[in-house]
Structure formats: C-alpha cells, structure tokens
Structure 1
Amino acid sequence: MAPQRFREQFDHIQRSMPDVPLAMGPDDSAEFLYEKGVVLARDGEEARVVEDTVRAHFTATAGLVGEDVRRVSAQTNRSGITRIRVGDPGRGDRGGDRAVASALRALRAAEGRAGHRLVSRNHVVHIAVNACPGDEPVPAQPTEQPNPAPAEGLHDPDTAVGVLVIDTGLMRDCRSYPLLARAKGDLQIKECDDDGVLRQYVGHGTFIGGLVAAVAPNTDLTVSNALNDAGAVLESEFGDKLFEAVDAGGWPDIISLSAGTSNGRTDGLLGVQAFMEELRARRTLLVAAAGNNGSATPFWPAAYADLPEYAGTVLSVGALRSDGEFGACFSNHGPWVKVYAPGERLTSALTGFTRPVPYVYQHSTYDACRYGFSYACTCQSPRHTGVLSDDEAGPGTPDQVMFEGLANWSGTSFATPLVAGMIASHMVAHKEPDPRAARRQLLAGNTAFAEVRGAVVPALRPPTWRPGPAGTAGPAA
C-alpha cells in the first residue's frame, strides 16, 4: 500500500495540537485541515450576524443542535477575528464536520446581501512542506558545497536589504555556519525529542535563512519562529503571528514566507485579511511559497498575488526540478503562481556544524511518483522507510541518518527564499530602495523560462545555482 502523506501529516499535526480536534476538508476530499465545531467571523456586527443566522438555521434543521452556537472567543487583537462554536467538536471523524459545513451554507444568502464573505472554516496554516511535503531532508555528502553557492559581495550596513523569514526559527548553533554568522531572530524552541532525535521540520527556518544569505550576501537577515510548533497554526491565530513577527523588528523590505493553506476559495483567508490590508499600505514585499500539493488550487497567502489589489504586494513562487527546466512534481501551479525557481534538492544548512544529530525518517518513499511524473523525483529517491508509513505487512523499520551541517531538501518552501534573495540582490545592485519596484524590474527584465505542466512560465535561477541531473524523462502529460 502506498504511503498516505496527507493522512500521515494529519496525525502529526493533530499530535502537535492535542486540544484542537481537526478534520480534513473539503468534506469530500483532503485538501486542507480545519478545526472541528468552529467557524470564524470578523468581530462585532458580522460575528453577531453569523451567530444569529446559524442558530436560526440549526433550529430549523433536524439533527443539528441550535444551542451549540455560541461565541468561543471575542478577539481584541489586530486581526479582529472571532471563533464561533457551531457544533460539538467531538462528533464525527477526521473526514469532515457536518455542523461546520452546514453553518457555511447557512450564511450564503447573507453573504450575497453583504457583498463579501462573512464566515470561514478555521483552517490549519502550515509550512509548505508540512501537510504535503516535497520530501524530507537528506544529509549532504562530506564534499558537497552549498547550492546555490555563496554569491560574491560583502555586507554593508548602509545598503543592506532587510529580509524577514517567518518560519520555525534558527537552530541554536546555526551561526557556526559562516553564511548565518550575522543572522538575527528567534531560536527553534525545541530541536530534539526526549531521545535526542531531531523533531520533524526542525531546521526548516535555518535552511531557508542559509539560502537567502547565499543568494544575497548584503542582507540584514532575521528569522522568526512564529511557526515553531510543527510549522502549523490555526488561521484564527495566524494573522496575529504575522503581526507579531513584523512588530518585533519593524516592517522589513522583504518577507519570505513558506507557509499557507488552500481553502477552496478564490478570495483569500479571513484570518489574515487585516494583516494583508496593512501590508498593502506598507512598502514591504511578501514573497510566498505556492505550496506542495501538486495542485492548481489557490494556496494562501501566495495566491493573493493573483488578486488585482495585491498584485504588486505579493509574489507567489513555485518550484522547478533539479534541472531547472521543468516544474517539480510536487509544486502547486496555475495562473496564480507568478514565478518559478529551483526548489528540488537544494543544499543549505540544516543544523550548525558543532555536533552530529540523529534524525528518523517520518515518511516512506514511493515506488513511483505520486503525481504521475516519470523523472527521478523526490517521491521515489533517495529511498527510505518512515515511521509514520504502514504497509500491508505492517510498519517497517524506519531509517535513521545523522546531520552535521549541510543537507539536501526540496519544496516550494526553498524556491521562495531564492526569489526573495534575488530581489534583494537586485535592490543592492541597482540602488533600488523600493522592493516592489525591484520585483517589477527583475521580472520585466527576466528572459528565462521553464515548462510547467505544458505552460511556459517565468523562471528565476540564481547565478550561483548549479543544475542537477535532468532525470529520465520530461514531465507527465
């Protein structure tokens, strides 16, 4: 039986949120995760409309209990989001929540009258290799060098570009890696489990920080640990996490964000609307990962790049495979993904270089690409058995490796900081103080393209990035 990555990750994230019953959605598939028994609304009058409408609907609908509808928390934070209980979170299974789905349907007429969305599921926002990972990290060979290699250039505090990575934080010994010697920010809160084994996705923020520093040496790099807990956070908390990250050091020139979620809609996430509106009023550019679901479904916040009012504020980034000529099998795609960059088997620092640390693989590789591609993709290689994956004969013995510094890792998570770094480098080289103008200039002057599922798309490849083997064949039809 093939591994079930999404369901394996559901279990992993549920363990990291033991007090939050979760379901998969939408109700007939598994594209995203959300909190059972709860919907979101904007605080104030809209929350009252949602409560009253859902209560009246449930009272008139057999099998649904109207008195379950009540305010869970009236937020006084900057995101202005209220959680409203609409059902028993203990009912049903992880395949969906009937009460939440019914509450959303009950508000359709009211939303039509209001002209905008009033209610939403409380989605789980996750780092972009989480609920559907590109792969897990692999120790680099002893002679292997960073890829992209460090670009030439020196740090100049007068002209350095501010880049904020909002992610899992920094490993405590990351500054032993020369490219991260000046990195600022938060430490990963817990790196290892009680047995001294690296926890899943630990090092994600460090790996990303190393990529930014390699592509753009003249940056003031800060790595936030706002997504420390398994890289996952509820949508109701995500907006405030973003606000806290920028409040800690001021709004930077560029935010590199390798996290998000799909939600089955084309108008964004209710929980981050306040942040996005403030972002639009600033000069900061958000560079966001398109996600690793191998899907054309919009992944937020990256997909804000396709909304006219945010077109200059957000840049969405998909991943190219190792040869840089075609899209990686796992990369999300579609018109809302505005640029692609190498995102398969990049090499950066996972940990510092002061001690070897063991890691046990969580997912098993596949016999064939789970997206139907025919090249030697990360679905299949390198082979390993993971602790979360069962086969028909029962779980196998999971493989363990040792990390001591550099690793290979794949995902749109890692294509994203390459693009953020290239925009920062353009700002320095052209003395352009406006990151949004630099983004426009860089894309307007770009002459490189790649093929992604039959479409010709813009591709940004750092000058120091080295392509790898092209694999055995082109992309799937």
Structure 2
Amino acid sequence: MAPQRFREQFDQIQRSMSDVPLAMGPDDSAEFLYEKGVVLARDGEEARLVEDTVREHFTTFAGLGADQVRRASPETNRTGITRIRVGDPGEGDGRGDPAVANALRSLRATEGRAGRRLISRNHVVSIAVNACPGDEPVPVPRTTPPNPAPDTTPYEADTAVGVLVVDTGLMHDYRSCALLAHTTGDAQLRECDDDGVLQQYVGHGTFIAGVLAAVAPNTDIIVRNTLNDCGAILESEFGEKLFEAVDGHGWPAVLSLSAGTSNGRTDGLLGIHAFMEELRDQGTLLVAAAGNNASATPFWPAAYAALPGWENAVLSVGALRSDGEFGACFSNHGSWVRAYAPGERLTGALTGFGTPVPYVYQHSSYDDCRFGFGYACTCSHPRHTGVLSEPGDPAGKPDQVMFDGHAQWSGTSFAAPVAAGLVAAHMTAHKETDPRAARRQLLAAVADYAEVRGAHVPALLPPTWRPDPVDPPAAGA
C-alpha cells in the first residue's frame, strides 16, 4: 500500500496536540487541518453577529440548542479574534466536521452583504506545510561541505542585517557549527524521545539558520521556538505568537517563516490578519515558504504577496529542484509565488557536532513520484520505510539512521531562507537599509529563470550554491 503522507501527518499532529480534536478539510476532502467544533470571528460586533446567526440556524443544521452556541475563549488579545463553540468536538472522526461546515454556511449570505469575511475555521499552521513534507532529512558525513557553501563576506557587527526565524528552536550544541557563530535564540524544548531518538522536525530551525548564514554571513540571526510542538500550532494562537516573536527584539529587517496552511480562500488567514496589518505598516520584509503540496492553491501567509497592500512586504518562495532548471516536484506554485530558490537536497547543519544521534524515519518513500514527475525526486529517493506508513506491519520495519552533524533536506522550508539570505546579502553588498527596497532590486536584477509547470519564473540562485544534474523530467512533468 502506498504511503498516505497527509493522513500520516494528521495522525502525528493529532498525537502531539492531543488536547485539541482535529479534522481534515474542507469537509470530506484532505487539504488542510483544523480544530473541530470551533470557528473564529473578530471580537466585538462581528463575534456577536456570528453567535446570533449560528444560534438562529443551528437547530436546523446541527441540532444544537441555543444554550450550546457559546464562546470558547471570551478574552480578547492583540489578534482581535474570538473562538466560538459551534459543536461537540468529540463527535465524529477526523474526516471533516459538519458542525463547523454548517456554521460557515449559515454566515455566507451575511458575509456577502457585509463585503468581508466574518467567520473562519481554526486552521492548523504547520512547518509540515499542508501536512505534507518535502521529505525527511538524510544524514551526510561531517566532511560534506554545506550547499549553499558559506559566502566569504565578512561579519561586521555594525552593519549586520537582523533576521528573525520563527520555527523550531536551536539544537543544544548548535554553537559547535561555525556557520552559526552569530545566531542566537530559543532552544529546542525536547530533542529526543524517551529512547534517545530524534523527534520529527527537530533541527528544522537550526538547519534553516545554517542555510541563511551560509548565503548571508553578515547577519544577526535570532531563532524563536514558536513551532516546537510537532511544528504545528492553531491559527487562533499563531497570530499572538508572531506578535510575541517580534516583541522581544523589535521588528527585524527580515522575518523568515517556513510554515503556513491553505484555507480554500483567497483573502488570507483571519487569525493572523492583525499581525499582517501591523507587518504591512512596519519596515520588515516577510519571506515565507510557499508550501509542499504541489498545488496552486494559495498558501498563507506566503500568498499575502499577491494581496493589495502586501506586495512589497511579503516575498513568497517556491522550491527549485537540485539542478535549478525546474520546480521541485513537491513545491506549491502559481501566480502568488513571486520567486523560486533551491530547495531540494540542500546540505547543512542539523545539529552541532556533538555525539551522534539516531533518527527513525516516519514516512516511507514511494515507488514513483507521487506528483507524477519522472526524475529521481525526494518522493522515491533515497529509499526508506517509515513508522507512520507501515503501522503494525512486521515486514515494514522502519529504517534508522545516525546523524553526526550534517544533513541533506528538501522543502520550500529551506528555499525561503535561501531567498531571505539573498535579500540580506543584497542589503550588505549595496549598503541598502530598506529590506523591501532590497527585495524589489533583487527581483528586478534576476538573470536566471526556471520552468515551473510551464511558466518561466525568477530563480534566486546563490553564487555559492552548487547545482546537481538530474535525469530529465518525463513528458508532462
């Protein structure tokens, strides 16, 4: 049986967020994850309107009495969002939530008259974007040079560009890696399980910081461990966590974010909208990963790059395959993706250089590319058997590897820090203090293009990145 990555990630995230019943959506399909029995609305009059409308319709739609429609979290916060209970989260399984779907449906006409969105699911935002990772890390020897290789620009404290990475925390031994000499931030809360095995996505933030530092050495990188819990967080909490991330050190020049979700809409995420409005009014440039579901569906917050008012404030980044000629098979794409950068089989620091540590694969590889591509992509190479793909099957014993510092890893998660690093490097090289101006200048000067789903797109290729030849794609890939 072929692996079911989305279902596997759903089970993994549900175990991690065991106190929050989750569903796959929309309805009976599998495009994103969200909290069961709860919707989001803006505080104040809009929240009251949502409550009243849902209460009016629910005896027909969900069989709930008027006293069962209530606020799950009445206090306000900087996001201006209220969670409203519309159903019993213990009912049904994870294949959609009729109560939430009916609540959304009951507000549809009212939203049309109001001219704006009033209600939303409470989506799960995750670094396993669309709950579908590009792949899992592959160990490489310590002697393997990073790719991208470190740029030779010297570090100067007075001119270093501030970059904030919101992700998992730093590994305890990260300072053993010379590339991360000017990186600070939060520690990874728990690196290994009770058996001493690395947990899934541990090292994600450290790897991102290493990629960024290699492309732009003249940076002060701060890593926040906002996404430690299996790399997933509810939309209702994410906006507040983003505010907290910038509160401690002020708004950075560049914010690198390798997480998000789709929501089936084209107008953003309700839970982070207040943060995105403040970001728009600041000078910070958000560089965001486009997601790994091989889809053209807008992925947030990266897709804010295509919304009026955020064009200069957000740079959405898709992933190129290892030769830089085409898009990686897993990369999201579409007109809302503004640029592409190398994101397949990058090499960098997963941990520091302490004691070797084991990792057990969670997902099995496929016999062929699950997206129909014909080259040796990360869907099928290297071969491995994972815990989540073969539950209870003695013949499907999961593969274990040892990490000794360096890893190869793929995903738009890593294309985003490549692009963030190029913006920062441009700022240093041109003495540019405005990251949004640097973004415009960088894209205007692009000399390289790649082909992604038939479109020719800007390719941001670091001078120190080494392309690897791959077999040509099959027809139609």
Identity %, equivalent residues: 75
**How do 1:203-352 and structure 2 match up within 5 A?**
203-352=203-352
Query: Per-residue displacement from partner, 1:71-113 (whole Å, max 9, x unpaired)?
Result: 0102321111110000000111100000000000000111112
Q: CA deviation at 1:200?
A: 0.3
**How do 1:58-137 and structure 2 match up within 5 A?**
58-61=58-61, 63-129=63-129, 131-137=131-137
TM-score (norm 2): 0.98
Q: Counterparts of 2:97 and 2:321 in 1: how far apart (Å)?
A: 37
Q: Which runs of no fewer than 5 residues in structure 1 stay unpaired?
A: none
Q: Which runs of no fewer than 5 residues in structure 2 stay unpaired?
A: none
Are 1:129 and 1:411, in contact at CA under 8 Å, matched by a contact in 2? no
Q: Kindly provide the amino acid, as one letter, of the partner of residue 91 in structure 1.
A: E
Query: Per-residue displacement from partner, 1:157-195 (whole Å, max 9, x unpaired)?
Result: 111100000000100100100011221110000000011
Q: Kindly provide the amino acid, as one letter, of the partner of residue 366 in structure 2.
A: Y
Is 2:188 the counterpart of 1:188? yes
Is 2:431 the counterpart of 1:431? yes
SS in 2 for 1:415: helix
Q: Counterparts of 2:84 and 2:12 in 1: how far apart (Å)?
A: 26
Q: Counterparts of 2:130 and 2:398 in 1: how far apart (Å)?
A: 19
**How do 1:134-213 and structure 2 match up within 5 A?**
134-213=134-213
Q: 1:252 to 1:112 in 2, by over 3 A?
A: same
Q: Counterparts of 1:391 and 1:158 in 2: how far apart (Å)?
A: 54
Are 2:288 and 2:317, in contact at CA under 8 Å, matched by a contact in 1? yes
Is 2:51 the counterpart of 1:56? no
Q: CA deviation at 1:63?
A: 3.7
**How do 1:380-399 and structure 2 match up within 5 A?**
380-390=380-390, 396-399=396-399
Q: Counterparts of 2:30 and 2:395 in 1: how far apart (Å)?
A: 23
Q: Counterparts of 1:74 and 1:172 in 2: how far apart (Å)?
A: 38
Q: 1:394 to 1:333 in 2, by over 3 A?
A: farther
Are 2:62 and 2:102, in contact at CA under 8 Å, matched by a contact in 1? no
Are 2:182 and 2:219, in contact at CA under 8 Å, matched by a contact in 1? no
Q: Counterparts of 1:450 and 1:474 in 2: how far apart (Å)?
A: 17
Query: Per-residue displacement from partner, 1:335-354 (whole Å, max 9, x unpaired)?
Result: 00010000000001000101
Q: Kindly provide the amino acid, as one letter, of the partner of residue 204 in structure 1.
A: H
Q: Counterparts of 1:348 and 1:475 in 2: how far apart (Å)?
A: 33
Q: Counterparts of 2:172 and 2:257 in 1: how far apart (Å)?
A: 21
Q: 2:366 matched to which residue of 1?
A: 366
Q: Counterparts of 1:94 and 1:442 in 2: how far apart (Å)?
A: 44
SS in 2 for 1:134: coil
Is 2:27 the counterpart of 1:39? no
Q: Kindly provide the amino acid, as one letter, of the partner of residue 117 in structure 1.
A: R
Q: Counterparts of 1:64 and 1:323 in 2: how far apart (Å)?
A: 56
Q: Kindly provide the amino acid, as one letter, of the partner of residue 69 in structure 2.
A: V
Q: CA deviation at 1:423?
A: 0.3
SS in 2 for 1:347: strand
Q: Counterparts of 2:355 and 2:61 in 1: how far apart (Å)?
A: 61
Aligned residues: 477
Q: CA deviation at 1:28?
A: 3.0
Q: Counterparts of 1:136 and 1:68 in 2: how far apart (Å)?
A: 43
SS in 1 for 2:347: strand
Query: Per-residue displacement from partner, 1:140-169 (whole Å, max 9, x unpaired)?
Result: 134311000000111111111000000001
Query: Per-residue displacement from partner, 1:179-235 (whole Å, max 9, x unpaired)?
Result: 112211100000000111000000000000000100000001101101111110000
Are 2:130 and 2:291, in contact at CA under 8 Å, matched by a contact in 1? no
Are 2:361 and 2:386, in contact at CA under 8 Å, matched by a contact in 1? yes
Q: 1:440 matched to which residue of 2?
A: 440
Q: Counterparts of 1:142 and 1:162 in 2: how far apart (Å)?
A: 28
Are 1:362 and 1:389, in contact at CA under 8 Å, matched by a contact in 2? yes
SS in 2 for 1:110: helix
TM-score (norm 1): 0.98
Q: Kindly provide the amino acid, as one letter, of the partner of residue 382 in structure 1.
A: P
